Amino acid sequence: MPATRLANPRRIPPLGRLWLSCLPLLALLTVTVGFAENANLIYNGDFELNSPDSPPPGWTMWGAQQYKVPANFTRDTTAPHGGKACFRIHHPADTAGYIVSAPDQAIRPQSRMRYEVTFWAKADRPGASQFGVTAYSTINPFTDAPAPGFYPLDVGTEWKQSSFAIDEGWDFNAERSRYLLLTFRATTVQAEATTLWLDDVVVTEQKSPREGRLMDEASLQDEPLQHRLRPGDQLDLTVDAKKPLRPANRNVGGVSFHRVAGFTRLPYDRDGKYNMSPEQENAVRELRLPMTRFYGVGDEPFSLEDSIDKAAEVCRRTDIPLDTLVLEFETQGAERKLAPEGWARGVLHSVARGYGFHYWEISNEPYLGRPGTAFASPEEYVEHVKAVAAAIREVQPEAQIGVAINQGSLKWGNYVLKLAAGHYDFVVGHYYAVSNADKRKFEVATLTENYKVLDQILRVNALIRAYNPGREVCQLDTEWGMHSGGPNGERADDVNRNANIFGTLHRAVRLIYYAREALLRGASSWQMFSYRKSPGFGVLATDAPDKRCMGYWLYYYFNRHVGQTVLDAQGAAPDYAPAKGDDPYTTPGAFPGPLTPALVTLSEDGRTIHFVLANGSWDRTVPCRVALRNFTPAKAEGTVLSSADPDANPLLERKEDFVADFTVEVSRAGMSCAIPPHSVVFVTVRCGA
């Protein structure tokens, strides 16, 4: 057996399993060879195993099912780098298939070890490919874990060697990232046809030379996510108007614009012409947005100063507060950075105009590993953040500096928080959630995925406190939503479930916790404008100005039903946790929580109680009973949002197809109702004394 196909002693390759019947005879040899120094942890990394299978043994097709075409992933004997064969990965134009090392041969990492990856690659033409190391905490089912990440590959027509090293404790945590898979994409441009060849893929393990390790956020977390409802048969609440829990976080119901000159030619076009009609302005104004965000402000065809003025004008026309607007100046894809003096010039202009802007987000998602990115490493990004922060504070001492992190990556999350500590005032995580929604149970998409993300937010908060003792640092979520590709590889923007009743309930549950638990300072979801043909994140459709998306009505009613104070609503609710077979991507029992989360808030004058109630069950009506203390109800009114089609287009032909009046029974003791399945209910109860 060639050395490059030696088994990792912590896993047994398929061929190795055939030897088990001879184990007594071969035990000593197997142990000795298995622990040989620099043994390759990748099975069939040299592709010399002569097999008719496509892809070759040890490798697996990944991505949407329609792109799993064996003929595109073949063993090639025509021109290998070494030996008799290499691996040919063909990417037809407008497809999205890629390859990973076989999950049943996953690398099982150990604490305090370094994993060095080397391979040879070439392509049919020069271009940008991609290599990455993905991670799972389980592989049956597949449960995502913080991954080392992805790296751009500049490939040419001649064989070229690439090398990467990842260190446990710094790039990933072995306790949570228990299975590591190598990932290769032939191209990062989905529309182009490209062929990539790989050969001599080697992963070796040795003791890491790096001292120490990053803090483990799981061990720092003070308390679990507070659901505030014990398991029960129905939603049964006791609400005391004189028992406040905390101020309601009223800044979470924001919706982000794309850019000042966005892809929909709104609010401005590339020539700087203002294109929002009075009807569109009024539609945005009616959302009563507490905040929003623009990125790429310094990357428009007009000047940075002009772009800042235009952002302020949009807010002025739509009644969005200027002091909660988040601005990001650099390119949309983080291909280029703006020099610190450029940032300072823009901030100084804002100060001189008296706009009140003070939230400055440094770069949009610099961690995605795009070819040509401005930041090849976290260290480069952090140095930029430090320089920009210093320049901004010179002209605006009270400025709030935002650092962008990928919370799913140790090096672009935990490590960035550590390196940049003391230089940032808020953290931007972009807490998108859910993938493969077409294969997922409604309850998992709307409840479990949210409870998982909310737990992650708490962990990041714990890290922020640990790395910034004595400083007030918060999180602002400037992009979030339900994010799933389609069953046939459709972009998330084109997937109805991201914004129809699936996405609406997902967002409603998140908003309830964001407003009630004060996990972050503010949140602005993705995105304000889209096209009729791409409603996956849309709130308003540019080419259907007289129509509204389902998400529009969620924000319309939510921002009208968050009072001044969260009331401590005690009681019970039906509980949900995924059962075996419920979801192919979720461990049974993971992230349990209420089927019907609730937000109860009191108005500033104490005479109105608002309820936001979400039912994350697809088919179960949940009775609701509320006992009111120190509050005498006189009347109540309600609204329900619901849609019976899980694949409906989120762009509504009529408001009445999604929004209806909701009946609530009121007595001197409280109120009662029945919450329909897959619905969001908004109730306002007014005091009569």
Q: At 195, is the secondary structure helix, strand, or coil?
A: strand
pLDDT in tens, 217-241: 878 877 899 999 999 999 999 999 9
pLDDT of residue 55: 97
Question: What does the pLDDT average to over 470-496?
Answer: 94
The pTM of this model reads: 0.89
pLDDT of residue 371: 63
pLDDT in tens, 119-170: 999 999 999 899 999 999 999 888 888 889 888 898 999 999 999 999 999 9
pLDDT of residue 22: 38
pLDDT of residue 689: 64
| Helices and strands in the chain: count of H runs, count of E runs | 12, 36
| pLDDT of 10 strictly over 60 | no
pLDDT in tens, 165-178: 999 999 999 999 99
Question: What does the pLDDT average to over 310-336?
Answer: 96
pLDDT of residue 27: 34
pLDDT of residue 468: 97
Beta bridge partners, 91, equal 194
| pLDDT of 186 strictly over 90 | yes
Q: 668 burial class (0-12, 13-18, 19+ CB within 10 angstroms)?
A: exposed
Tokens 């005391």 sit on residue: 240
Domain residue limits, the chain: 3-207, 247-559, 570-687
Question: What does the pLDDT average to over 252-268?
Answer: 96
pLDDT of residue 169: 95
Query: For residue 330, which of 371, 364, 359 has the smallest C-alpha distance?
Result: 364
| pLDDT of 31 strictly over 70 | no
**The domain made up of 3-207 is a member of CATH 2.60.120.260:** yes
pLDDT in tens, 427-460: 999 999 988 899 999 999 999 999 999 999 999 9
Contacts of 578 (CB under 8 A, 6+ apart): 441, 443, 444, 448, 586, 587, 588, 589, 590
| pLDDT of 373 strictly over 90 | no
| pLDDT of 315 strictly over 90 | yes
Residue 655, CA distances (Å) to 198, 254, 353, 641 in order: 54, 21, 40, 10
Q: What's the CATH fold of domain 570-687?
A: Immunoglobulin-like (2.60.40)
pLDDT in tens, 492-537: 999 999 999 999 999 999 999 999 999 999 999 999 999 999 999 9
Q: How much is the CA Rg of the chain, to the nearest whole Å? A: 27
Q: Give me the chain's average pLDDT, please.
A: 92
3-207 and 570-687: identical CATH topology:
no
Two tokens at 318? 């739509």
Question: What does the pLDDT average to over 83-112?
Answer: 96
The lowest-confidence range among 6-10, 39-43, 671-675 is 6-10
pLDDT of residue 313: 98
CA dihedral 567, 569, 573, 578 (to 10 degrees): 50
CB atoms within 10 A of CB 165: 16
With left for phi above 0 and alpha for psi between -120 and 50, is residue 580 left, alpha or beta? beta
pLDDT of residue 63: 85
Count of positions (residues) in the chain: 689
Whole-number percent of the chain with pLDDT over 90? 84
State how far Cα 279 lies from the chain centre: 32
Q: What's the CATH fold of domain 247-559?
A: TIM Barrel (3.20.20)
Residue 477, CA distances (Å) to 121, 421, 474, 480, 493 in order: 38, 19, 10, 7, 19
Question: What does the pLDDT average to over 605-613?
Answer: 98
Q: 547 burial class (0-12, 13-18, 19+ CB within 10 angstroms)?
A: middle
- What is the DSSP annotation of 547-564? --BHHHHHHHHHTTS--S
E strand segments, 31-159:
59-62, 73-76, 86-91, 98-101, 113-123, 127-139, 142-144, 149-155
